Amino acid sequence: MKRVLITRPEPGATETAARLSERGFFPVVAPVLSIVGETLRAPGHVAATLLTSRNAVAACPPSLYSLPVFAVGSATTRQAAQAGFKRVHNADGDAEALAKLVADTMSPTDGALFLPTGQGQGRAIASALRQHGFRVVRRVAYRTVRSALLPAMAATDLRTGMLSAAMFFSGETSRHFVRLIEAAGLADSVRDVDAVSISEAAAVPLRSLPWRCIGVAAKPNQDAMLVLLT
Domain ranges of the chain: 3-32+148-227, 36-144
Contacts of 204 (CB under 8 A, 6+ apart): 171, 174
* pTM metric for this prediction: 0.84
Is the alpha carbon torsion for 163, 219, 81, 54 positive or negative? positive
Q: What is the pLDDT of residues 155-174, one digit of tens each?
A: 999 999 999 999 999 999 99
Fold topology of 36-144: Rossmann fold (3.40.50)
Q: Write the CA distances from 68 to 47, 49, 53, 65, 184, integer angstroms.
A: 7, 7, 16, 8, 46
Long-range contacts of 150-153 (CB under 8 A, 24+ apart): 150/30, 150/32, 150/177, 150/180, 150/181, 150/183, 150/184, 150/186, 151/30, 151/31, 151/32, 153/28, 153/29, 153/30
Q: What is the pLDDT along the chain (230 residues), one digit of tens a residue?
A: 899 999 999 989 999 999 999 999 999 999 999 999 998 998 888 999 999 999 999 999 999 999 999 999 998 999 999 999 999 999 998 889 999 999 999 999 999 999 999 998 999 999 999 999 999 999 999 999 999 999 999 999 999 999 999 999 999 999 999 999 999 999 999 999 999 999 999 999 999 999 999 999 999 999 999 999 97
The CA distance from 161 to 184, in Å, is: 15
Q: What is the pLDDT of residues 9-50, one digit of tens each?
A: 998 999 999 999 999 999 999 999 999 999 899 888 899 999
Same-fold call for 3-32+148-227 versus 36-144: yes
Beta strands 33-37 and 136-146: pairing type? Answer: antiparallel
Burial of 179: CB neighbours in 10 Å, binned 0-12, 13-18, 19+: middle
Question: Going along 8-108, which residue ranges are E strands?
Answer: 26-29, 33-37, 46-51, 68-71, 87-90
Helix (H) or strand (E) holding 165: strand 163-168
CB 9 within 8 A of CB 37: no
Which of 58, 65, 59 shows the shortest CA–CA distance to 87? Answer: 65
* CATH assignment of 3-32+148-227, among 3.40.50.10090, 3.40.50.300, 3.30.300.130, 2.60.120.920: 3.40.50.10090
The CA distance from 88 to 100, in Å, is: 15
